Structure 1
Amino acid sequence: MEIEAGPSGMQSRELILIRHGTTAWNLEKRYLGHSDIGLLPGAEQELSSLRKQFSNITCEALYYSDLLRCQQTLTQIAPSQAGKAKLDPRLREIDFGQWEGLTYDQLKDNPQYRDWIDAPQEVTPPSGEPWTAFTARIDSFLKESLMSFSPILHSRSLNVPKIAVITHGGVIRYMVSRLIPDQGFWDTQVIPGQAIKIRLDGDGGNWVGTRLTFP
């Protein structure tokens, strides 16, 4: 899906979308949304490869979710750039409400859960976050933080500006579905500690994304 761009003139940038490292709930396959738990003790080793890759990348902007697991991931992979990173609560995972901390096996016989699996855009977990609210805050972030022609990102040099975002699996899936044509929400698989790179090209009317190999 295309996103409206700003002033006329072709511009390009690269987005590096990073999912936080592994938590205990990830290992146990529990739904983890707004619950604020940290990474496993072995995070430094798990993220060492990503840290090495990231050490050769200079970002014009770096954003991260306000939840602990993303803050800890930032510290592990980009310590030298952490000072300029911007915390943004809009990058939180969707809130699973009463299903937070539960597993598929615990929920599979719940009719409302089955309906939500089939149509998350139409069914909301009890006391959870509606799909429309989840996507609205991410769209707001994309428009204001990634698609704007701010002086920092409005570069005409040969080097394409790079923007990194440390966030959550569901957020990354949605961003990819919004930025790359014909890409569905469930088409993207992203594991903890993985980075996905997207090149965005805009002609003053719309941004269109293409997935690249990281790094």
Structure 2
Amino acid sequence: MEIEAGQGGMQSREVILIRHGTTAWNLEKRYLGHTDIGLLPGAEQELFSLREQFSNITCDALYCSDLQRCQQTLTQIAPSQAGQAELDPRLREIDFGQWEGLTYDQLKNNPQYRKWIDAPQEMTPPKGEPWKAFAERIDSFMEESLMSFSPILHSPNTNVPKIAVITHGGVIRYMVSRLIPDQGFWDTQVIPGQAIKIRLDGNGGSWVGTRLTFP
């Protein structure tokens, strides 16, 4: 899907989408949205490889979900750049409402849950976040921070600006589905501590993304 670009001229940038490291609820396969829990004690070892890869990357902009599991991931993988990060609550995972902390086995016989699995855009978890609200806040972030004209990200030199975003699995799936043509929400698999790199090219009228190998 093409997305409207900012002010004129050809622009390119690389966007690195990073999912936070593993939490206890991830291990237990519990739905984890706005509940603010931290990483497992072994986070430093889990994220060591990503830290090594990230040590050779200088970000022109760095954004992070304000939930502690993402902030802890940030300090593990980019300690020297963490101070420049902007914490943005728009990057939070979707709020699962009354299903927070529950597992598939606990929910599988719930008719509402079955409907939500089949059509999350049409069914909202009890006291949870509607898909429309989730999509709107992510779209708002992308339009403002990834795809708008910015003097900081628009340099006459040959280096392509790099933007890193530390966030959650559902947010990354949604972003990839919006940035890369013919990608559905469930087409992207991203495990804790994984990075996905996308090159965005805009011609002043629209942006289109291409997935690259990380790093």
- TM-score (norm. length: structure 1): 0.99
Which shows bigger deviation, 58-67 or 155-164?
Answer: 155-164
Alignment-derived partner of residue 81 in structure 1:
81
- TM-score (norm. length: structure 2): 0.99
Q: Deviations over 1:74-129 (max 9, x none)?
A: 00000000111100000000000000000000000000000000000000000000
Superposition pairs of residues 115-154 of structure 1, within 5 angstroms: 115-154=115-154
Give the SS at the match of 1:186: helix
Q: Give the C-alpha shift of residue 155 in structure 1.
A: 1.5
> In the aligned structure 1, how far is the partner of 2:157 from the partner of 2:121?
41
> In the aligned structure 1, how far is the partner of 2:195 from the partner of 2:156?
26
Superposition pairs of residues 166-177 of structure 1, within 5 angstroms: 166-177=166-177
Amino acid paired to 1:171: V
Percent sequence identity over aligned pairs:
88
Q: Give the C-alpha shift of residue 156 in structure 1.
A: 2.4
Alignment-derived partner of residue 57 in structure 1:
57
Amino acid paired to 1:199: R
Q: Deviations over 1:7-40 (max 9, x none)?
A: 1111100000000000000000000000000000
Alignment partner of 1:72 is 2:59: no
Structure 1 consecutive aligned stretches of length 4 or more whose deviation exceeds 4 Å: none
Q: Deviations over 1:139-177 (max 9, x none)?
A: 000001111111110122111000000000000000000
> In the aligned structure 1, how far is the partner of 2:142 from the partner of 2:2?
12
> In the aligned structure 2, how far is the partner of 1:88 from the partner of 1:176?
19
Cα RMSD of the aligned pairs, angstroms, is 0.4
> In the aligned structure 1, how far is the partner of 2:192 from the partner of 2:62?
18
Q: Give the C-alpha shift of residue 2 in structure 1.
A: 1.3
Give the SS at the match of 1:3: coil
Amino acid paired to 1:34: H
Alignment-derived partner of residue 36 in structure 2:
36
In structure 2, list runs of 5 or more residues that go unmatched: none
